[in-house]
């Protein structure tokens, strides 16, 4: 029997990478669960009092709710506008697609502070609420991820071929989009959405400059409390990480391929009532026969 080769180097690299990724989180967790940690290797004590204090603070809950509200509003706008748009551009306007691929990178060229300043000059004092301006700015900021993410998903499922097959079978473009394309890009869409969710949820520069203290989101709340107490700020950070990890796990579970096997249901079972080949042919020729009758 062939001995299984052990890849020690691979494990070592993986372990170093794991430590590198986990170290900040574990350190933050220790800091969030201690009252003093300054000149020792490990904290002097262990406590959940910062977490309890956090949960008991009504401003924290309000900040979380505001962050969720802002994130979901922005995400809803992004998804509703971008998914059909990218689909249409990808399937029907290949030249626009080439242009869009360059255009969506533009947000990278404008630093957040300059963008916020420009938006303030443009919209402050107008009838347009700054909340909507913020949603619009977040929308623009998400374009690089959203456009490329949706586009890659469309490309990976051979969208054009699927649409052609569906149209030849009698479906409209809308039916094909809803019944075939959307379910098949679900995974890619969820991953992109998660990426943007994290970005929106943790967004600070634009929110702080455009709305600031009038609409205290979790990151603005964090900044305020960090100035008061570092341990408390760490506990917010840990809670924030755990929330994102929780969302990632849910999405990973929902999109796991193991959840899709052959259906166990008997709804299409036909072995019990087999039909002959001749019957199959006659059933398929129903249309042909009708047509002949009409001609007669």
Residues near another protein, by CB under 8 A: 157-158, 161-162, 164-172, 175, 179-180, 183-184, 260-265, 268-271, 274-275, 277, 279-281, 283-288
Q: With respect to another protein, which residue has the nearer C-beta, 102 or 272?
A: 272
If you write DSSP's letter for every residue of 30-42 in order, what string do you get?
A: HHHT-S--SSSSS
CB-nearer residue toward another protein: 104 or 150: 150
**Least distance CB 169 / another protein (angstroms):** 4
What residues contact 224, with CB distance under 8 A and at least 6 apart? Answer: 216
Q: How far is 204 from 175, CA to CA, in rounded Å? A: 40
- Compare residues 35 and 158 and give the one whose CB is closer to another protein: 158
**Closer residue to another protein, CB minimum distance, 102 or 170:** 170
Residues 135/70, Cβ–Cβ less than 8 Å: yes
- Burial pattern 134-163, b for ≥16 Cβ within 10 A else e, equals bbebbbbbbbbbbbbbbbebbeebebeebb
Residue with tokens 């059933």: 283
Residues in Cβ contact with 42 at an 8 Å cutoff, skipping those fewer than 6 apart:
30
Min dist CB 278 to another protein, Å, is 9
Measured from the CB atom, the residue of 45 and 167 that comes closer to another protein is 167
Q: Shortest distance, CB of residue 146 to another protein, whole angstroms?
A: 22
**Least separation, in Å, of the C-beta of 194 and another protein?**
20
Q: In the bound complex, what is the minimum distance in angstroms from residue 167's beta carbon to another protein? A: 4
């Amino acid at each position: 029997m062939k001995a299984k080769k052990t890849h020690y180097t691979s494990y070592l690299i993986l372990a170093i990478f794991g430590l590198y990724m986990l170290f900040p989180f574990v350190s933050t967790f220790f800091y969030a669960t201690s009252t003093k940690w300054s000149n020792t290797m490990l904290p002097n004590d262990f406590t959940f009092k910062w977490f309890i204090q956090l949960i008991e603070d009504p401003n924290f809950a309000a900040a979380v709710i505001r962050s969720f509200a802002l994130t979901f509003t922005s995400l809803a706008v992004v998804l509703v506008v971008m998914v059909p748009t990218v689909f249409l551009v990808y399937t029907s306007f290949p030249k626009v697609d080439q242009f869009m691929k360059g255009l969506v990178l533009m947000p990278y060229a404008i630093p957040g502070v300059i963008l916020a300043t420009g938006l303030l000059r443009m919209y402050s004092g107008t009838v347009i609420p700054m909340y909507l301006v913020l949603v619009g700015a977040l929308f623009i900021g998400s374009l690089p991820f959203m456009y490329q993410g949706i586009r890659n998903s469309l490309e990976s499922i051979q969208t054009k071929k699927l649409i052609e097959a569906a149209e030849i079978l009698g479906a409209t473009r809308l039916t094909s989009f809803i019944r075939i394309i959307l379910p098949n890009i679900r995974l890619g869409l969820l991953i992109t959405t998660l990426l943007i969710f994290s970005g929106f949820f943790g967004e600070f520069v634009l929110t702080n400059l455009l709305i600031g203290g009038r609409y205290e989101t979790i990151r603005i709340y964090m900044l305020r409390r960090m100035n008061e107490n570092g341990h408390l700020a760490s506990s917010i950070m840990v809670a924030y990480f755990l929330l994102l990890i929780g969302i990632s796990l849910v999405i990973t579970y929902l999109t796991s391929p193991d959840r899709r096997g052959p259906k166990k249901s008997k709804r299409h079972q036909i072995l019990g009532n087999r039909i002959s080949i001749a019957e199959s042919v006659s059933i398929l020729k129903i249309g042909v026969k009708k047509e002949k009758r009409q001609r007669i």
